[in-house]
Chains A and B, each alone.
Chain A
Amino acid sequence: MTSLVPTDSSQLTALKSYQTKLSKILLFYVLFYAALAGFFAAMLTVFYQTLDMNIPKWQLDGSLIGSNPGLGFRPMPPVENVESTLIWYRASDENYKYWTNELDTFLESECSPASYVLLTDKSCLLLTTIFAVVSAYRKPGILEGGGENSMACDYDQRPTGDKVCTVDLGTFGPCIPSTQYSYPQSHPCVFLKLNKVVTLHPATQSGIFNWNPHYYNDTEHLPELMPTDLKEFIKLKRDTNECFVPVCQMNTVWVSCQGENPADVENMGPVQYYPKRGFPGFYFPFQNKPGYQSPLVAVFFEKPAIGVLINIECKAWAHNIHHDRAERRGSVHFELMID
């Protein structure tokens, strides 16, 4: 019978020398990987020296992000359902609560509006401490040091210096927390935002590299595909002469929301946009200044059909925003279903 424990001495020495051999190899690999990790860290450190912590190295067309921003919408479905874009609730139940809570968090979060979807609170904190994207819509832009750099802007009052424009939550009409964003009344609000695309500070870089919307601020060059109601809206604005020298109130990235199919158009019913039907031009460009708040458009669905799934596509309109439904360029898609 063989014993598992080596008894005779030669076996023991053999085992021992095998152990020494093995531990030496192990030690070698530990040292090797440690050295490699050190080398990697050194390389990464060297590389970091080439980076600016406020402005990405590649921008706009130099970067793969391109110069054709997409749109985002809120509230979004829960993380477990990450592939879904359906906003579905029953007005009679309390289950609209999820959506209103989402919107509350979105507007209140200390993190940037998008990051909370993606990260737990902790990693959100991590992100903000490194890259200062504090942004709470309820409070004015607060700097890390506690200072304040926000200001109320208007078309004739562009942000100056390090200041950023505030987004005033009081201007969203029925889409405010106190009314639960009108969800219980079966005419919900969906918030839209234009994707932030960093551009360099105009002072340090010539204007060509800035992504500034190229607005539709006259009535002559409106694209054919633009929904007629938006065209009429722009014409009306034009007629009421809101665009006058020196500041044109029509310097706005217009927004339109439509049902994707004829049935959806009918089911969607009329919509209203708060505070304006678009993103005012004074918010652009996005220069990654601390405390920057993305402009928001709240889309108020006045009378959506009940019990049907409605496919909705919202588009942002500017000369330099091109639309592609498959690639979701310049647009966003979501579904709405109210039982």
Chain B
Amino acid sequence: MSFNLFQGLTHAKAKEILLRDGLNTLTPPKVKPEWVKFCKNLFGGFSLLLWAGTFLSLMSYVMLAATSDKPDEENLYLGLVLAAVVIITGMFSYFQERKSSKIMESFKSMVPQFATVVREGEKITLRAEELVRGDVVEIKSGDRVPADVRIVECQGLKVDNSSLTGESEPQSRSPECTNENPLETKNLAFFSTNCVEGLGKAIVISCGDNTVMGRIAGLASGLETGDSPIAKEIHQFIRLITALACCLGITFFVVAFILGYHWLDAVVFLIGVIVGNVPEGLLATVTVCLTLTAKRMASKNCLVKNLEAVETLGSTSVICSDKTGTLTQNRMTVSHMWYDNQLIEADTTEEQTGEHNLNASLGYKALIRCGTLCNRAEFKPGQENIPVLRRAVIGDASEAAVLKYMEIALGDVMSIRKKNKKVYELPFNSTNKYQVSLHETEDLGDPRHLLVMKGAPERILEKCSTIYINGQEQPLDADMKESFNDAYLELGGLGERVLGFCDLMLPQDKFPKGFKFDAEEPNFPLTNLRFVGLMSMIDPPRAAVPDAVSKCRSAGIQVIMVTGDHPITAKAIAKSVGIISEGNETVEDIAERLNVPISQVNPRDARAVVIHGSELKDLTIHHTEIVFARTSPQQKLMIVEGCQRIGHIVAVTGDGVNDSPALKKADIGKLFYQRVAMGISGSDVSKQAADMILLDDNFASIVTGVEEGRLIFDNLKKSIAYTLTSNIPEISPFLAFILIGVPLPLGSIAILCIDLGTDMVPAIALAYEDAETDIMKQPPRKPGTDGLVNSRLIGMAYGQIGIIQSVAGFFTYFVIMAEHGFMPMRLVGLRKYWDSESINDLIDSYGQEWTYHNRKDLEHTCSTAFFVTIVVVQWAGLIIFKTRRNSILDQGMRNWPLNFGLLFETALAAFLSYCPGMEKGFRMYPLKFVWWLPGIPFSLAIFFYDEGRRYYIRHHPGGWWDRETYY
């Protein structure tokens, strides 16, 4: 194949190859077919148990049908109901799972990988999938190698092959073929490995599935990660509660068997107890909650790569933020100018628009003329419609800043430069520290040349003998120098980068039009110039950052700035965004204020500190406000580890390849900022290490993330508390049935209806609950002691609300029984006779005699009423679990999914009770209206008890209720 290294492929050719070979992607690993996933939902875990129950019921029906001409149809219905329940919940969780995985898929595709390719002699950036064999690509540090490539030229190129070969050290690359083994030779770099250093040019030799990575089957899919803390916590909790349920279930099974129940009835008890105790809906609820949050966060520019990271972000206690681009706008901007012996502040906001002070001060005009002409930076072509500040610039950062400032101040800089033709240029170098250019002026009547110079202010000042002030040239005397120095120091103290400008009109006689200026031997004056002014530049902080930092502070999160910048710059930015808050001083500040040497200041007096990277070793932190300056990636890692050692949960932000070690170390919210606004995508390496990608580069988004994380944690707690609460009224009827021998107050099918029916929608709806107002005023939770499910939550759900609910259920049960003639005392110990089919004349408290079937009707009616009562008390349950601290009056009822949930559970309960045919399948009987009422006083009791509890918590923080019942 013939090609030209500088030309690359033609577009047509590339298109042709792309059509032939297909996209440069790995064929996705064979995902489990949908039906397998579906079956997993249908037959996995508890479903299996329910299926067993179904099978047993149907089998016993068949057995009865074979031996008797008129078999009892109850078992048939029970079997059918069980099957229906399993299938419906299986489908529900399948669709939920599918929905959330689709959402997550769509997130992934929103973070595409790009490659820089040379085609038809032009450098273009395209999606890595569109690469074809033969393309010439450029690789630089931080990139993921987009295909298998052969290096043709490079400078200090190193790649990290660990994902392919497991070598942990970066491997250097060069154009020479050093080994016959493709994996050993130095001139090949492989798809999906990372470039960690240097840059190079390479030719694509194989794409997609033909790459080495593509051929190593299974590796591509082997990127699954371990469970995150919340997943662990939930799984552990579910396992625990399942084990408990199974133990209890088996105990009941054995007891029922001993009590002489038919084995099938005993199995129904077993299923009932397990179903009653295991929160089957919980996993689905958690997934739905997390997905909802991920969706909500995506709309706020946070892409969540790892669902559980949402929650862990909420427990963050320290954020290690880099400076550039996160706290700042990542573009140098002119912030101050000094001319006419005045210091003028420029607008540095993100949406900087409009005219600057065109007050026609001559000093200002001279300064901006200098800035416009003595500037090599240019806008990239084709950006006319983009706001000036967003345009891409060729040239270094400070020149770009000046260029943009001029473009805004003057309009079309390029045409001004054209009018003032550049005739000669002496570029910047580090020995001179200045740059010079010579121009013909736009004033056609003036044939003189203009010399403009810019550079390090002290060097520029040396070159000058006069200074231009208020339109007059004045000698540069000691006073003037003094005031220059003051201005220079002040700007330096603000951490700004300062440039000096001077100019000179060359005399026409010596330098006529067409004069040949010589570069090697400057044949024009470089001294006795006219000083015109200073411009200082800074990467200004983002507008939203100070607010976000103070929000973090009130949320108990320490914000630490880690930057490679100079300490002074770092401190200035830290102060301007509030990382070092107003009034807080560093040791240096105190020393300066008291005018004593630094060594005499007690470090404990200073609340803030700026730490130089080199001082990191002997670091003891007495300070609440910390800035790390001049830090290397290794040191950043040390900082993260140090914070973790003292028990913090650290979120790290970073975008460069340097940040990936620290990102990987940050045990939880690994964050990463992608620069979309700037058009520079964050490096692929850090993208891989991150759990969450903030699309708008903004530190404020991280606060949103923390808030969402805390919110979902709270809401999960609420949801779990709600779900667990109804376990007590589900299990206590069985206990009463076995222990005190009352007729069964609540049947197994009714329990299923609660767990998988009426409780499901409200539990999920709690995920939509708004944050309690004070969510960002609480300190972060302590991961060790403050788990998702803690003893206080169990105490609330099981010990308090659950018990009230049980009592409500039993009250309803006793009411209906008594109204029919069985007084509570009569029921105790009655189970044996009640359930005996041979007793056709069981006497009640009024002397009435009940046949077996009459009393079974009564029993099932009571069970239905118990079920309805659980729904009624769960209304209150749902409302009280909306808030953990606030009053419902503050919280309001604006959560519409939850309000729908209230209606839904009521409607479902009514449907189950009143729909004809339910008495056969579900053993649900129509209730008289008054039997809906006995639960209501208990519902109110729950509501007022918990309002009172929360009132006390609010008004006595740290009091007993707060310590022992705040879950």
Contact between chains at B964 and A196 (CB < 8 Å): no
| Contact A71–B841 (Cβ < 8 Å) | yes
Check A51–B818 contact: CB distance below 8 A: yes
A54's contact among B260, B846, B855, B857, by CB below 8 Å, is which? Answer: B846
B840 & A65 in contact (Cβ 8 Å cutoff): no
Contact in complex: A57, B840 (CB < 8 Å): no
Assign chain A's interface to a size class.
Answer: 35 or more
Minimal beta-carbon separation of B842 from chain A (angstroms): 7
CA distance A326 to B821 in the complex (A): 24
B890 on the A face (CB < 8 A): no
Tell me if B803 and A72 are in contact (CB < 8 A): no
In the complex, whether B814 has a CB less than 8 A from a CB of chain A is: yes
Q: Are A332 and B847 in contact (CB under 8 A)?
A: no
Q: Is the CB of B853 within 8 A of A126?
A: no
B843 contacts A by Cβ under 8 Å: yes
| Cβ–Cβ contact B861 & A72, under 8 A | no
CB under 8 Å from chain A, chain B span 661-693: none
**A58 and B937 in contact, given A36-B804, A131-B846, A196-B847 (Cβ under 8 angstroms):** no
Knowing A29-B799, A114-B841, A126-B825, the reply to whether A65 touches B848 (Cβ < 8 A) is: yes
Contact B821 A56 (CB under 8 A): yes
B841 touches A130 (CB 8 A): no
A43 and B838 form a contact (CB under 8 A):
no
B853 engages A328 (CB within 8 Å):
yes
Closest beta carbon of chain B to A235's beta carbon, Å: 30
A36 cross-chain contacts in B, Cβ below 8 A: 803-804, 807
Tell me if B430 is interfacial: C-beta within 8 Å of chain A: no
| Interface assignment of A117: CB less than 8 Å from any CB of chain B | yes
Complex alpha-carbon distance, A127 and B847, angstroms: 10
Complex Cα distance A40/B937, Å? 10
Contact with B along A251-293 (1 / 0, CB 8 A): 0000000000000000000000000000000000010100010
Q: Chain A residues near B823: list those with CB within 8 A.
A: 130
Known A-B contacts A71-B840, A114-B842, A193-B841; the reply to A328 vs B851 at CB < 8 A is: yes
B843 with A51: CB separation less than 8 A:
no
User: A188 at the A/B interface (Cβ < 8 Å)?
Assistant: no
Q: Which residues of A contact B855 (CB under 8 A)?
A: 64
Give the secondary structure class of B's interface: helix
Give the residue of A43, A64, A85, A133 whose beta carbon is less than 8 angstroms from that of B857.
A64
How far apart are the CA atoms of A327 and B857 in the complex, in Å? 11
> CA A198 – CA B846 in complex, angstroms?
8
Residue pair A82, B845 in contact (C-beta under 8 Å):
no
A293 to chain B, nearest CB (A): 11
Q: Within 8 Å of chain A (Cβ to Cβ): is B227?
A: no
Complex Cα gap A84–B838 (Å)? 6
Contacts of A84 in B (CB 8 A): 838
A268 to B851 alpha-carbon distance, docked (Å)? 25
Contact flag A288-B826 (CB < 8 Å), given A83-B836, A195-B841: no
Kindly state whether residue A25 has any CB partner on chain B within 8 Å.
yes
Chain A residues, Cβ within 8 Å of B854? 64-66, 70
Q: Kindly provide the distance from the CB of A94 to the nearest chain B CB, expressed in whole angstroms.
A: 25
A300 to chain B, nearest CB (A): 21
Closest residue of A by beta carbon distance from B825? A126
B296 interface residue per 8 A CB criterion: no
Across the interface, A292 reaches (CB within 8 A) one of B837, B847, B858, namely: B847
B113 at the A interface (CB under 8 A): no
User: Which residues of B line the A interface, CB within 8 A?
Assistant: 70, 260, 795, 799-800, 803-804, 807, 811, 814-815, 818-821, 823-826, 829-830, 832-833, 836-855, 857-858, 861, 934, 937-938, 941, 960, 964
Report, nearest first, the 6 A-B pairs whose CB atoms are least far apart: A72-B841, A70-B851, A195-B849, A114-B843, A57-B819, A327-B853
Provide a sorted-by-A list of 29 A–B residue pairs whose CB atoms are within 8 angstroms: A24-B960, A36-B803, A36-B804, A40-B811, A44-B814, A47-B815, A57-B819, A65-B848, A65-B850, A65-B854, A65-B858, A72-B840, A77-B838, A79-B832, A82-B836, A83-B260, A112-B847, A114-B849, A118-B830, A123-B829, A131-B845, A131-B846, A131-B847, A133-B847, A195-B841, A195-B850, A292-B847, A327-B851, A329-B851
In the complex, besides A43-B937, A57-B820, A83-B838, 15 extra interface pairs with C-beta distance below 8 angstroms are A29-B799, A54-B846, A56-B848, A71-B840, A72-B841, A73-B840, A126-B825, A127-B845, A195-B840, A195-B851, A196-B848, A198-B846, A198-B848, A292-B847, A327-B851
